[in-house]
Amino acid sequence: MPMAINAQGSKANFAGKWALNAEKSDMGQAPQGGGGGGPRMGGGDFTATQDANLLTVVRTRTGQDGQAVTTETKYTLDGKVSVNTTARGESKSTATWSADGKSLTIVTTRSFERDGQTTEMKSTEVWSLTSPTALSVVSTTSTPNGERKTTMVYDKK
**Mean predicted lDDT score pLDDT of the chain:** 86
Distance CA(59)–CA(63), nearest Å, equals 12
Say what percent of the chain tops pLDDT 90.
Answer: 59
Can you tell me whether residue 39 is helix, strand or coil? helix
Q: How many other C-beta atoms are found inside a 10 Å radius of the C-beta of residue 38?
A: 16
pTM of whole model > 0.85? no
pLDDT at 38 over 90: no
Q: Stretch 21-43: mean pLDDT, rounded?
A: 63
Which carries the bigger pLDDT value, residue 36 or residue 92?
92
pLDDT tens digits for range 98-143: 999 999 999 999 987 778 888 888 999 999 999 999 999 999 999 7
User: Would you state the pLDDT for residue 42?
Assistant: 55
| Weakest mean pLDDT among 2-6, 9-13, 101-105 | 2-6
The answer to whether residue 41 scores a pLDDT higher than 70 is: no
Task: From 106, 63, 60, 104, select the one nearest 81 (Cα to Cα).
Answer: 106
Name the CATH architecture for the domain at 2-156: Beta Barrel (2.40)
List the Cα angle 102/103/109 in 5-degree steps: 160
**Contact (Cβ atoms closer than 8 angstroms) between residue 10 and residue 101:** yes
How far out from the chain centre does Cα 129 lie?
A: 14
